[in-house]
Amino acid sequence: MCTISTVSHLYKTFALADSLQQGTDYNLHVLVVDSEIDYTHQNCKFWKLSQLQSDSTIQAITSKYKGSNDKLRWSLKPAFMKYLLTAVPTNKVIYLDNDLFFYNSYDFLFNLLDEHSFLLTPHYYRNSPKHNQNWFEANFRVGLYNAGFAGASTKALNVLQWWADCCIYRCSKNALRGTFDDQKYLDLVPVMDENAHVVRHKGCNVAGWNTEICKRETINGEVMIDGKFPVVFVHYNNTTIREIVKGEDSVLLNHYQHYISALKKYNSNLNENALVVNPPFADKVKYAIWKIVTDKGIV
């Protein structure tokens, strides 16, 4: 397992590391992009950017995006995964955003990498062209797969290098160019690699954007997705937290409270309200423009 973090979000990384004890392989490799300090955690192996500069791809990414921690973190995902596969070495690696949190065993994901070269999790955005079309179109604007999770074996080294090269080419949200940071490039992976696998377990990457496709219900005291999938891990980004707190995804409230308790173990001064971030004003403007041009039939 691996993740990439800034110092300010290490408390989330530590909570993620603790949650990985749900499985049998819970050592987490952590690349900290904005510090050369030595950090410790019982389940973590920490890496500094300076340790990885012998890798030409990582060097190129660092040089291009050193002024933006976000673009640096996003672009380093495939390069760090490839580095671990070749330098540690290991024959399988799973990347996780540090705002993920696990509730059940994930061992089956590593087992999938015995058969498959690359693992992807769908966003499961709403997909009806008749209702909520903004979400429908998000599949094509933002991408079919969520880049907060990716798995790879040594059979995918070429794909990881290609993904890293894509990020060097451009890491930006640009609808005209068809890019969305590091993420939308993943749409091409199943086309390029016939051994890539789309994870169909809907308990993986449960998030605020898939409440409709991945229906939550409580069965015999346990939250299940689509009536048959236990919650493996939740992606606690702004959308997910906002939906839970607003009561739009209340079935996950106990899971969220568990997550908050885990965060407070490493950040006792955590302000829960600060985690509820409203959509940026720019996003609201974009949505308003989308509504106008759609409703008037301009496009």
Indicate whether 136 belongs to any domain.
yes
* Strands across the sheet containing 233-235: 100-102, 233-235, 204-206
Hey, how many other C-beta atoms are within 10 angstroms of the C-beta on 82? Answer: 24
**CB of 188 within 8 A of CB of 125?**
no
pLDDT at site 239: 93
Indicate whether 113 belongs to any domain.
yes
The model's pLDDT over 11-38, given as tens digits with 9 standing for 90+, comes to 999 999 999 998 777 789 999 999 999 9
Indicate whether 14 belongs to any domain.
yes
Residue-range definition of the domain harbouring residue 141: 2-201+255-265
pLDDT at site 294: 55
The model's pLDDT over 256-268, given as tens digits with 9 standing for 90+, comes to 999 999 999 999 9
Indicate whether 181 belongs to any domain.
yes
Structure tokens given for 122 = 């769908």
pLDDT at site 256: 97
pTM higher than 0.85, yes or no? yes
Question: Would the pLDDT of 299 be above 70?
Answer: no
pLDDT at site 22: 82
Indicate whether 144 belongs to any domain.
yes
User: How large is the C-alpha radius of gyration of the chain?
Assistant: 19
Indicate whether 216 belongs to any domain.
no
- Percent of the chain scoring above 70 in pLDDT: 93
Indicate whether 244 belongs to any domain.
no
Q: How far apart are CA 121 and CA 141, in angstroms?
A: 17
**CB of 236 within 8 A of CB of 100?**
yes
The model's pLDDT over 59-71, given as tens digits with 9 standing for 90+, comes to 999 999 998 999 9
Indicate whether 217 belongs to any domain.
no
Q: Tell me which of 184 and 133 has the higher pLDDT.
A: 184
Q: How far apart are CA 125 and CA 212, in angstroms?
A: 8
The model's pLDDT over 33-85, given as tens digits with 9 standing for 90+, comes to 999 999 999 899 999 999 999 999 999 999 999 989 999 999 999 999 999 99
pLDDT band at 148 (very low <50, low <70, confident <90, very high): very high
Q: How far apart are CA 276 and CA 254, in angstroms?
A: 17
Q: How far apart are CA 64 and CA 165, in angstroms?
A: 12
Domain of 24: which CATH number?
Answer: 3.90.550.10
**CB of 180 within 8 A of CB of 138?**
no
pLDDT band at 271 (very low <50, low <70, confident <90, very high): confident
Average pLDDT over residues 111-139: 93
The total of structural domains in the chain comes to 1
